[in-house]
Structure 1
Amino acid sequence: MSLALPPLSLYVHMPWCVRKCPYCDFNSHAAPELVPQAQYIDALLDDLQNDVAAVQGRALTSIFFGGGTPSLFAPDQVGRLLEGVRRHIPFDPAIEITLEANPGTIEHGRFSGYRDAGVNRVSLGAQTFNEEQLKLLGRIHGAGDIARAVEELRQAGLDNFNLDLMYGLPAQNVAQALQDLESALALQPAHLSQYQLTLEPGTVFYHRPPPLPDPDDCWQMQIDSQELLAARGYEQYEVSAYARTGRRSRHNLNYWEFGDYIGIGAGAHGKLTRLDAREVIERTTRVKQPREYLSRSADSRLSERRVVPGEDLPFEFMLNGLRLIEGFNEQAFEARTGLSFEVLGGKIAAAERKGLLEQEGHRQWRATGDGQRFLNDLQELFLPS
């Protein structure tokens, strides 16, 4: 089998927030009084040079500004970065360019500036519409800020927006979780991402856990939410992602389908298929601390570049592909990993016996209902022996 070049995306990490949330384990840092915006954009454009050779004639299908809080950066700086990227890598005519935004950091007219800079999709970190829960989560916005941000988006002509929502919040019950979802749906987003709150190591919540709902209640929240979203015209296409027709996230789909992405910025990760000297898949990592990232020269901002061993590729592929409701097909596995599907024979059979995986059509596989509920158990079956 031979590797084939998959679609290519760009992830841009903006590491600063107004305040660090107690549940967050992302590489985010409380912003200094003056965020060094121009200096950081310069560093990002220099950093891009580390991976330009891996483009190999492809155009970017998507760009995602994540964080942190990218909406702390002015529209003109976002535009300057996009112009600089385009000088080095062509853009697909239908490119999706997403900016994450905190409803509490949006000033009047800001979204129009982002639209003019080239942003055509926004992801709003709503999390919840319950004022008490917002305070417990350490969010700097209120429920009213979410509605105002959505109105700003519509005035700017940015109707392709996502709302991030969480469930399983401290002391939350099923009815409260569904009321949150109703509040989100009232704003008519094109896309909705709904995640269960988990206690991640290294976070404040991990060391001082709040009272979380019973796991069975959390499962009921998920099931009831899926039913409500389906009834309102939102198709679930990934474990935590729902979209109206034609509004699936191209960027996130590229992750889940084991596509390639360049990652630039403090702590950013990348995954690249190389067909030059030898056919390999590489993982890249940038220097994590923003201050160190800014102080380094362009060629030393890359803290790691490693080839993924062949025996790890099945697990890495399944870690992503099994999250998709439609699952994956054998041809995609072979093209994206360079391995024969036969290497999975025993593991596929084991997953079928456990009732976690099923065949759907010709050479197409997907997680069963139990497989989705116990996704970690299913994914672990594909770890190297």
Structure 2
Amino acid sequence: FTTEKALAYRDGGINRISFGLQTFDDRLLKVIGRPHRARDVETTIEAIHAAKFDNFSLDVIYGIPGQTEAELRADLARAAATGATHLSCFRLEIIPFTTLKLREAAGELPERLPVEALDAMDLIVSEELTRHGYREYGAFNFAKPGYESVHNEIAFVAPQGEYVGFGNSAYSFINDHVYTNHAHLENYEAAVIEGRDPIAKAHRLTAYEAMSRYFVLGVKFLRVRRGPFIERFGLEPEQLFGDVIRGLEEAGVWRREGDDWVITPRGRQYINNVAKSFYVGGSVGHRQHAEFVPTITPEQILRYARKVEAIANADAPQEQP
């Protein structure tokens, strides 16, 4: 990323840049298999500042196997010192059928952090970034006053609005349709050059899916408004999600506050599970479009399978002669 590219973005009307820092610790970057290093991030930030493009956001990943609380605090302090107006902080998820999961099975990663350590890190993120002048306004989002993401507040906060995404991998939501652009840059470019819509997949939400979406996305911003749901869909949420709502209240992960439901501190720690409670129909276990599924080659699978086999053989009791 260069100053020239930042200037081109600014001159083209883009007013905010977001990029994946993940961590400033080169050791941890290697653990999660990221190709960049801390110096690459510093160079990018220097280019952004040189272009006087000072409204930018960083993504931070924490809960990495082998990460300590001190390392997390150092990452957060360093991220705040860059002048970023917005930070999005996510726990690492090791997802099945990815290279990271294969590496874990092959014994290439440090041991996962216990749940108690991850919960403690959630609190550290909130406390440290609040101390550095950021306001928490969603499950993963922190902004300096006045720099909250407009996209987040339109796309997630209930009742959600419409938006258009430009570029490869971008999503749009218009007229109850979800549109997904091509993930691969060459496919996206070819469609644009040929005058075609660069859409890889489109889906019209059913009424049931739209009601589910209202809650699934709204939960991510810690408050779901009941009144707008009734106005939009003509029925009370309890008629559709009564059992789910009662179960979440009994679990202590959310509570009623006036006419809204609010995620509790305990619920914030399990926010993705709370959101998934409202999945319905085809959303349950629904696979992503093929372009968006991480590709694992047969060679990778075989290589890691051999490592797993070697580990199992080494741990097996040896027969005595």
**Interval of TM-score (by shorter of Structure 1 and Structure 2):** 0.7 to 0.9
Between the aligned partners of 2:85 and 2:200, the Cα distance in structure 1 is 37
Alignment of 1:331-342 (within 5 A): 331-335=227-231, 337-342=232-237
Cα distance, 1:272–1:368 mapped onto 2, change above 3 Å:
same
Alignment of 1:19-168 (within 5 A): 106-168=1-63
Name the structure with the higher helix share: 2
Between the aligned partners of 1:226 and 1:261, the Cα distance in structure 2 is 29
Q: Which runs of 4+ in 1 moved over 6 A?
A: none
2:93 maps to 198
Between the aligned partners of 2:27 and 2:184, the Cα distance in structure 1 is 32
Between the aligned partners of 1:180 and 1:235, the Cα distance in structure 2 is 18
Deviations 1:86-134 (A, max 9, x none): xxxxxxxxxxxxxxxxxxxx22443223222222111132111112223
- 1:272 and 2:174 equivalent? yes
Q: SS at the partner of 2:148?
A: coil
Which residue identity is paired with 2:249? E
Which residue identity is paired with 2:99? V
Between the aligned partners of 1:294 and 1:149, the Cα distance in structure 2 is 25
Deviations 1:307-338 (A, max 9, x none): 2122222321111111113x121233345x53
Which residue identity is paired with 1:269? Y
Between the aligned partners of 2:47 and 2:272, the Cα distance in structure 1 is 39
Deviations 1:130-181 (A, max 9, x none): 1222333444433233334323322322221111111112311222111111
- 1:314 and 2:211 equivalent? yes
Distance apart, 1:288 and its partner CA: 4.8
The unaligned stretches of length 5 or more in structure 2 are 282-321
Alignment of 1:210-359 (within 5 A): 210-211=109-110, 212-257=112-157, 258-273=160-175, 281-293=176-188, 298=195, 301-325=198-222, 327-335=223-231, 337-342=232-237, 343-344=239-240, 346=242, 347-359=244-256
Identity %: 27
2:262 maps to 366
Between the aligned partners of 2:277 and 2:36, the Cα distance in structure 1 is 41
Distance apart, 1:375 and its partner CA: 2.2
Rg comparison, structure with higher value: 2
Distance apart, 1:205 and its partner CA: 0.2
**Contact 2:220/2:275 (<8 A) preserved:** no
1:8 maps to none
Deviations 1:31-59 (A, max 9, x none): xxxxxxxxxxxxxxxxxxxxxxxxxxxxx
**Contact 1:173/1:213 (<8 A) preserved:** no
**Contact 1:315/1:379 (<8 A) preserved:** no
Which residue identity is paired with 1:324? F
The unaligned stretches of length 5 or more in structure 1 are 1-105, 274-280
**Contact 1:314/1:383 (<8 A) preserved:** no
Number of aligned residue pairs: 270
Distance apart, 1:374 and its partner CA: 2.2
Between the aligned partners of 1:113 and 1:267, the Cα distance in structure 2 is 21
Cα distance, 1:166–1:383 mapped onto 2, change above 3 Å:
closer
| CA RMSD in angstroms, aligned pairs only | 2.6
Which residue identity is paired with 1:250? V
Distance apart, 1:240 and its partner CA: 0.9
Between the aligned partners of 1:118 and 1:149, the Cα distance in structure 2 is 19
Deviations 1:172-194 (A, max 9, x none): 12221111111112223111111
Name the structure with the higher strand share: 1
TM-score, with structure 1 as normaliser? 0.63
Q: SS at the partner of 2:20?
A: strand
> Equivalent of 2:75, from 174, 180, 197?
180
Cα distance, 1:113–1:240 mapped onto 2, change above 3 Å:
same
Bigger relative contact order, structure 1 or 2 (CA pairs below 8 A, ≥6 apart): 1
Between the aligned partners of 1:188 and 1:118, the Cα distance in structure 2 is 21
